[in-house]
Amino acid sequence: MQLDKVVNYHKALADPTRIKILILLAEGERNGQVLAEKLGVTPATITHHATKLREASLINERRDKNTIFFSLNHYFIKNNATVSVDLIYKNANILGGAEEMDDKNKRLKESVIKNFFTSNGKIRSIPVQLKKKLIVLENLVSRLDKGHKYSEKEINAFIMNYHDDFATIRREFIMHQFMFRENQIYELNPPEMWARWDVLK
Amino acid sequence: MQLDKVVNYHKALADPTRIKILILLAEGERNGQVLAEKLGVTPATITHHATKLREASLINERRDKNTIFFSLNHYFIKNNATVSVDLIYKNANILGGAEEMDDKNKRLKESVIKNFFTSNGKIRSIPVQLKKKLIVLENLVSRLDKGHKYSEKEINAFIMNYHDDFATIRREFIMHQFMFRENQIYELNPPEMWARWDVLK
DNA sequence: CATCTAATTTAACAAATATCTAATTAGATG
DNA sequence: CATCTAATTAGATATTTGTTAAATTAGATG
């Protein structure tokens, strides 16, 4: 469930040593030994924290010979700071009733599709407003086959039918739970896991 | 210290029961007994969590006779979601003790500039080695204006002064945090966010 | 293959924390 | 004052979590 994701994200940031690691990584990539030395802890402790930060998608890693360099996942950090806020307000609406899509949302959906896709089906631009962006992403993702296992190449090629910036859109697919990635293989999530735009304001 | 504040904020949100309380409160104010009943815990547990949420300024309280009604501190929630992000990037320089560039790196930089740029300032070829590639990218990006908002067209035109493959280089600008894109507008990141080549081997 | 380096795993332990039950407090009302 | 309601506190317990030392693994190099 999505709640766990948010909780784990906050757990990852709920420790001073981990925050300090992120602060150091904001300067540039660092390996485990250096982090351990700078923070006055053992390499084992760094490994422990790195695992948590990795699980929360807050850091990336790059291996060079025996050394592993950690770095910030800038994109994820910037985009998830507000996720908890979204979750709280979004789920409030769900609990508060408003189950089926109302006319207003239907009209919005049509208008977004009309305005953000060109006549030959390409994406004119990626909406900035979350709600509209989700409508576009959902529309795209609906054209993929359920249960089909896509390579990254295939996903890129698919996206490029609609927009050049496949990297951003591919990331958004994952971030908003439209797809999941395992072993470099991409696959659709069931629709009930997709981010809900119809409950947003 | 500011670090503790951020850690405590995340600790407050690092528990599923507390997130659920906030979700319920987003619907409107609720008293302890009702929250306990809805979440299947005892009133004592609600008191426990309410204390933590209160300490993190996430909720407010209002007393009416014997009943205490909890409500969201909307203002605080909305304004603090990004505090941790700010903290991480802001403190990077301070904590990190920016080591100055050593002679070896200075020489390498000169040599890369000399070898990968032609006499009329074009890029001869994009270096394959990460460290050298970052030197070239940084050199390019340093010619852009801080704070200026560039359209994609402008960025492409700029890059094409130096190399034909603007798409690749534009992507590398983003990927290595030299720039960020929002709303199809490109802008320089502050230098402390740029990928550091001087720490690479 | 022997050796070196950096990272990880394992086992142990202390500290923090989520939850409950039972007792207590704060305030309202007859 | 006696009683009722809602919240809090106190004490107990089980779980989670941060840390370390020691052993092990992964990969590079001679």
Model confidence pLDDT, tens digit, residues B52-61: 999 888 888 8
Residue B98 pLDDT greater than 70, yes or no: no
- Determine the average pLDDT of the residues in A2-23: 87
Instruction: Tell me the pLDDT band of A43, cut-offs 50, 70 and 90.
Output: very high
Residue B79 pLDDT greater than 90, yes or no: no
Which helix (H) or strand (E) covers residue B35, if one does?
helix B32-39
d(CA B193, CA B90): 10
The reply to whether residue A26 touches residue B195, judged by beta carbons under 8 angstroms, is no
- Determine the average pLDDT of the residues in B39-43: 90
Q: How high is the pLDDT of residue B102?
A: 59
Report how far Cα A21 is from the mean position of its chain's Cα atoms: 21
Task: Please list every residue in chain A whose beta carbon sits closer than 8 Å to the beta carbon of residue B193.
Answer: 26, 74
d(CA B151, CA A107): 31
The reply to whether residue B89 touches residue A26, judged by beta carbons under 8 angstroms, is yes
| Nearest CB to B23; choose among A13, A27, A88 | A88
Q: To the nearest whole angstrom, how far is the Cα of A144 from the nearest Cα of chain B?
A: 26
Residue A58 pLDDT greater than 80, yes or no: yes
Residue A20 pLDDT greater than 50, yes or no: yes
Handedness of CA A64, A70, A71, A73 (dihedral sign): positive
- Please state the pTM of the whole predicted model: 0.54
Q: To the nearest whole angstrom, how far is the Cα of B121 from the nearest Cα of chain A?
A: 28
d(CA A28, CA A118): 40
Q: How high is the pLDDT of residue A47?
A: 94
Query: Number of A:B CB contacts under 8 A?
Result: 116
Instruction: Tell me the pLDDT band of B130, cut-offs 50, 70 and 90.
Output: confident
Residue B100 pLDDT greater than 80, yes or no: no
Task: Please list every residue in chain A whose beta carbon sits closer than 8 Å to the beta carbon of residue B6.
Answer: 13, 19
* Per-residue pLDDT tens over the stretch A109-158: 889 999 999 988 899 988 877 778 889 998 999 898 877 888 888 898 99
Work out the mean pLDDT of chain A and round it to a whole number. 79
Neighbours of B20 (CB within 10 A): 19
Structure-model confidence comparison of residues A46 and A195, the more confident one: A46
Q: To the nearest whole angstrom, how far is the Cα of B195 from the nearest Cα of chain A?
A: 6
| Nearest CB to B82; choose among A64, A81, A92 | A81
Protein residues contacting strand C, judged by Cβ under 7 Å = A 31-33, 43-44, 46-48, 50-51, 66-68; B 11, 14-17, 40-42, 44-45, 48-49, 52, 65-66
Q: How high is the pLDDT of residue B158?
A: 93
Q: To the nearest whole angstrom, how far is the Cα of A148 from the nearest Cα of chain B?
A: 29
Find which of A74, A75, A124, A170 to mutate to test the B interface (most B CBs within 10 Å of its CB): A74
> For strand B185-188 and strand B150-151, is the pairing parallel, antiparallel, or unpaired?
antiparallel
Residue B6 pLDDT greater than 50, yes or no: yes
d(CA A135, CA A37): 47
Nucleotides of C under 7 A from a protein CB: 5-10, 17-23, 26-29
Structure-model confidence comparison of residues B52 and B93, the more confident one: B52
The reply to whether residue A95 touches residue B6, judged by beta carbons under 8 angstroms, is no
Structure-model confidence comparison of residues B73 and A109, the more confident one: A109
Task: Please list every residue in chain A whose beta carbon sits closer than 8 Å to the beta carbon of residue B93.
Answer: 27
